[in-house]
């Protein structure tokens, strides 16, 4: 049932739907903002001749519930849902309805690919790389001890003393790398993992140099044998 009342400025008879009780409505004649009363005012004869507002959108929010300009809404306050205004008489196009503002994206579930903020990932990465060496630590220790023993045995010969220290050094490097990688994986000590890498790197450098020297000696030996055979064959042919 519409509420009928008069504008307190120009006296125009106005009529507003009852759901707007307590809100402010703009008079279409003088643009005065009038509070919609709870009950109809004036005589029925005067009210019947009243005119309806041209646009229900002219009905404003009550000052008590309106949000001040420039301030965010109070926490926990219900957000008004935009609704379409009724069509004015003689209008065929529906009024535009304000689109609700989409809230900022918030994800309740953490991405499985996201790294924890502030948590260093170096230990986990280094540990995963060194894990195969950790699994072979016992074999590395055995190999180191055997190489160490071979070096000691070389010391028993006069010629072997020249190269014995190389085998002793290589055995110490492999055994030390196995011990360092064990401590590094089990305690997460990055310094121990780096030490294991350095010892293994030195070991392979010595092994590479030794292999080159061995190949060179084998080549020289084969060359001497071939030259000796050629000289022997040539001497036999000349005789």
Q: Tens digits of per-residue pLDDT, 131-171?
A: 777 787 888 888 888 888 888 887 887 777 777 888 888 88
**What confidence score (pLDDT) does residue 226 get?**
94
Cα–Cα distance between 202 and 180 in angstroms, integer? 14
**What confidence score (pLDDT) does residue 224 get?**
95
User: Model's pTM, two decimal places?
Assistant: 0.39
Which residue ranges in the chain fall short of pLDDT 50?
Answer: 43-51, 53-57, 61-70, 105, 107-123, 125
Cα–Cα distance between 127 and 110 in angstroms, integer? 25
What is the three-state SS of 136-199? CHHHHHHHHHHHHHHHHHHCCCCCCHHHHHHHHHHHHHHHHHHHHHHHHHHHCCHHHHHHHHHH
**What confidence score (pLDDT) does residue 118 get?**
41
**What confidence score (pLDDT) does residue 95 get?**
52
Stretch (H or E) spanning 227: helix 190-238
- The domain ranges of the chain are 3-58, 125-238
Q: Which residue has the tokens 């005789």?
A: 239
Cα–Cα distance between 192 and 188 in angstroms, integer? 9
Buried b (16+ CB within 10 A) or exposed e, 84-120: eeeeeeeeeeeeeeeeeeeeeeeeeeeeeeeeeeeee
């Amino acid at each position: 049932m519409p509420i009928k009342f008069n504008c307190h400025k120009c006296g125009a008879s106005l009529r507003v739907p009852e759901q707007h009780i307590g809100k402010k409505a703009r008079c279409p004649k003088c643009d005065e903002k009038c509070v919609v009363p709870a009950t109809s005012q004036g005589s029925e004869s005067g009210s019947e001749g009243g005119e309806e507002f041209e646009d229900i959108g002219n009905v404003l929010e009550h000052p008590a519930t309106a949000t001040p300009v420039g301030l965010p809404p109070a926490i926990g306050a219900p957000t008004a849902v935009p609704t379409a205004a009724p069509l004015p008489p003689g209008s065929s196009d529906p009024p535009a309805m304000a689109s609700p503002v989409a809230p900022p994206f918030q994800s309740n579930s953490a991405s499985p690919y996201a790294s924890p903020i502030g948590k260093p990932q170096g230990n986990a990465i280094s540990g995963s790389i060194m894990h195969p060496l950790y699994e072979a630590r016992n074999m590395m220790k055995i190999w180191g001890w055997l190489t160490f023993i071979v070096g000691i045995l070389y010391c028993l010969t006069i010629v072997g003393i020249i190269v014995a220290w190389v085998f002793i050094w290589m055995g110490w490097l492999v055994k030390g790398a196995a011990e360092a990688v064990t401590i590094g994986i089990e305690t997460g000590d990055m310094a121990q993992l780096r030490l294991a890498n350095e010892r293994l790197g030195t070991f392979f450098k010595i092994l590479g140099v030794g292999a080159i020297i061995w190949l060179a000696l084998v080549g020289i030996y084969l060359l001497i044998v071939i030259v000796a055979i050629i000289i022997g064959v040539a001497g036999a042919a000349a005789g």
